[in-house]
Structure 1
Amino acid sequence: MSGIRTTALRSLPVILALAGAALAGAVTAAPPARAQSPVAIGAPLTGEVVLNRDIEVRIGPSEDARIVMTMKQGKALNALGTPRGTYWTEVAIGGQPIGYVPADSLDPALMVTGRPAIGGEGPRPPKSAGSQPADALPPHRSAAVVPRAAWDKAAQTPAEGYVVAAAPIAATEILANRKRRGFTLRKGDVVALIGAANGEATLALPAGTRALAPVQGLVGVVAPYPLPGMPPVEPGMLYGIKLGDYVSYAEGLRAWREFTAGPGSAYRDLPPMVWPVFQKARLLYGVGVAPFTRLQVDTACGTLAQRGLDCTVIELDTF
């Protein structure tokens, strides 16, 4: 396994470094240093947000401003904007401004406030390969989201992540008497993964038996939709944020728990988003959050940058 490198989440909590800044000839509070991110570097939040910790609301954008109230973690607010040269965001309740809070105390209410899908059916499958331009991405990507019902059926079997068949796949079921029976995984079938080696995956079927199938055509499942307690996602292309790759499911699960205990506290009540990634002869595990629309993923990456975390945007298959 030499050569495999893991991308670990940074130590939590993140310590924000402050740098001096001048605005219109006056010295103002300095913004936090931000890590490089591929999308929306340091973009200030606007719109519906939630507090990621208990916080004091101040009458002005300054640590010295009078405290007008305190609020608990998880409180839903409206972010109105962040004055230039500060790291304080003006917030409101029901459209009525109430004061300012530190910008890094806010997370976007991404999956709570999204408009329901048309007909409540979730995302639409991507267009067929024949209708895509020649320079489009391959039709099957490295991660997917699946309907809640398919996820719930597969999740009855403990496993190290779950996969979905992106196309019909010839597989072999290993029966209790060690006999083998050939069958076909249908496109959209979600199954539990036990492990993979030499291009072949070992799967746990809901019936309690195991099966062998080529990894070609199997895609790691990031999350179901709709997520528990959340409205359906909008139709169209969906995206995820990958925070890192790990050499085992256990390491990925540990990273997920560290993330949701710190900068990703907004996602702590969701199922762990740790999914298998097949890379030639290697099996890795991605850790991240999903699903997002294009606009949502930009905002989320900007928020993570404020926490000192990098993120990689990935496109998701939908079924």
Structure 2
Amino acid sequence: MRTRSTTALRALALRLILAAATMWFAPDAALAQSPVAIGAPLTGEVVLNRDIEVRIGPNADARIIQTLPRGKALNALGTPRGTSWTEVAIGGQPIGYVPSDSLDPALMVSRSITAAMGATATGANAGGSPPATGKPPVIHRSAAVVPRSAWEIAAQVPAQGYVVAADAIKATEILDNKKRRSFTLRKGDVVSLIDSANGRVTLGMPGRTRAVATAEGLIGVVAPYPLPGMPPIEPGALFAARLGEYVSHAEGLRAWQEFTYGPGTAYRDLPPMVWPVFRGARTTYQMGVGPFTRTQVDNVCGALAQRSMDCWVIELETF
């Protein structure tokens, strides 16, 4: 168990981060630039912006392994020092190197697609670009925070993140290989996510059984509240800073570990903030930090932008 002094020190560390961000950055701090645009190494989920040849090494003379088309989703693993080539992977398996300028962060691409489909983001214009103030727009209803007591029950089952029912959802509990029982997840029920495919999910129930249901109506959980060892959040709307989006839960966890051993050291001892996002038949995993008030999240994103980190503000559902 944590001692009171350790808890107090951790709470103080987070207060200092927020206070420093408030002093260093105005509330209308600009959005982080793409890592590629400022010459910083790119990691995480990316998309090819043109047809490209994948090479075995980080130079133009290296043997060509394969050719990939524009729009192909990959994971960037990093850029070797002194080169303009980035190692990429598919499904977690490294496949070779491509020119760094052939890659765009997937978040930039998905945001453009969202705007083109007519989805709204408060403060964004029709083209999906930041508003004139440079203040990060808010993306709604993509994640949630839940009471700590409900989350702790769900967290007894190891999982690929946790979800909360936004409405009553029909589900089928698998009691053994032969018996099944229909039941209803109530609004606010928190359960663990075991697997997701083609718009359907397998859920871990507190009694160690499993259930299957559709993903529609389930929202990924960023974090419980109140967070252990962290200062309480003021009443009102809550937000999170989304820092990346990944093709698997494992890759989201890897990004979380890199973050918490870098600029996010205050969160190192907290549960990983990696949550599923369901888009029809496709599931991705987002990583970030929260919950915050709007002023706090703007300041946090501003501070991270100065460290070349992309940061998007999402408004959280509260249960």
Structure 2 alignment gaps of length 5 or more: 1-10, 26-119, 123-139
Once residues 268 and 292 of structure 1 are traced to their aligned partners in structure 2, the CA distance between those partners, rounded to angstroms, is 17
Larger Rg belongs to: 1
* Alpha-carbon offset, residue 81 of structure 1: 5.0
- CA spacing shift, 1:75–1:295, aligned 2, 3 Å: closer
Q: Contact between 1:222 and 1:290, CA under 8 Å: does it hold in 2?
A: yes
1:281, CA displacement in angstroms? Answer: 1.1
Match for residue 290 of structure 2? 290
Gaps of 5+ in 1: 1-48, 53-73, 84-134
> Would you tell me which structure has more helix in proportion to its own residues?
2
Equivalent residue letter for 1:152: E
Describe the superposition over 1:134-190 as per-residue Cα deviations: whole angstroms up to 9, x where unpaired: x998xx811000000000000000101000000110100011242111000011100
Asked whether 1:147 is paired with 2:147, we answer yes
Contact 1:50 1:77 in 2 (8 A): no
Q: Would you say how many aligned residue pairs link Structure 1 and Structure 2? A: 198
- What is the CA-CA distance between 1:314 and the residue it aligns to? 0.6
Q: Quick one: distance in 2 between partners of 1:254 and 1:263?
A: 15
TM-score for the superposition, normalised by structure 1? 0.57
Compared with structure 1, are the counterparts of its residues 219 and 306 closer, same or farther at alpha carbon in structure 2 (3 Å cutoff)? same
Superposition map of 1:93-172 within 5 A: 141-172=141-172
Paired residues for 1:9-158 under 5 Å: 81=23, 141-158=141-158
What is the DSSP-based 3-state SS (H/G/I as helix, E as strand, rest coil) of the residue aligned with 2:304?
Answer: helix
Cα deviation code 1:66-105 (max 9, x no counterpart): xxxxxxxx9789759569xxxxxxxxxxxxxxxxxxxxxx
Once the 2 structures are TM-superposed, how far is the Cα of residue 230 of structure 1 from its aligned partner? 2.1
1:206 matched residue in structure 2: 206
Q: Distance in 2 between matches of 1:291 and 1:181?
A: 36
**Would you say the 8 A contact 2:144–2:317 is kept in 1?**
yes
For residue 120 of structure 1, what is the aligned residue in structure 2? none
Which stretch shifts more, 163-172 or 174-183? 174-183
| Distance in 1 separating the partners of 2:249 and 2:236 | 30
Percent identity, aligned pairs only, is 67
Within 1, Cα distance between the matches of 2:269 and 2:304?
18
5 Å-filtered alignment, 1:190-269, equals 190-269=190-269
* Contact kept in structure 2, 1:276 and 1:285, CA below 8 Å: yes
Q: 1:262 to 1:276 in 2, by over 3 A?
A: same
> Could you list the runs of 4 or more consecutive aligned residues of structure 1 that deviate by over 3 angstroms after TM superposition?
49-52, 74-83
Quote the Cα distance in structure 1 between the aligned partners of 2:172 and 2:305. 45
Provide the secondary structure at the position in 2 that maps to 1:270.
coil
Tell me the secondary structure at the aligned position of residue 196 of structure 1: strand
Alpha-carbon distance between aligned partners in 2 of 1:136 and 1:254, rounded to the nearest angstrom: 28
Calculate the aligned-residue CA RMSD, in Å.
2.8
Matching residue of 1:62: none
Distance 1:314 1:205 in 2: 28
- Which amino acid in the other structure matches residue 162 of structure 1? Y
Deviation (angstroms), 1:51: 6.9
Query: For the structure 1 residues 51 and 270, does the alpha-carbon distance in structure 2 shift closer, same or farther, using more than 3 Å as the test?
Result: closer
Code of the residue aligned with 1:317 in structure 2: it is E
1:299 aligns with 2:303: no
Q: Per the alignment, in what secondary structure is the counterpart of residue 142 of structure 1?
A: strand
Farther-moved stretch of structure 1 (218-227 vs 74-83): 74-83
Do structure 1's residue 310 and structure 2's residue 310 form an aligned pair?
Answer: yes
CA–CA separation in structure 2 for the residues paired with 1:175 and 1:315: 37
Displacement, 1:231?
3.5
TM-score by length of 2: 0.57
Q: How does 1:175-194 map to 2 (within 5 A)?
A: 175-194=175-194
Q: What amino acid is the match of 1:165?
A: A
> In 2 relative to 1, CA 309–156 (structure 1 residues): closer, same or farther, beyond 3 Å?
same
Partners of 1:240 and 1:279 in 2: CA distance? 19
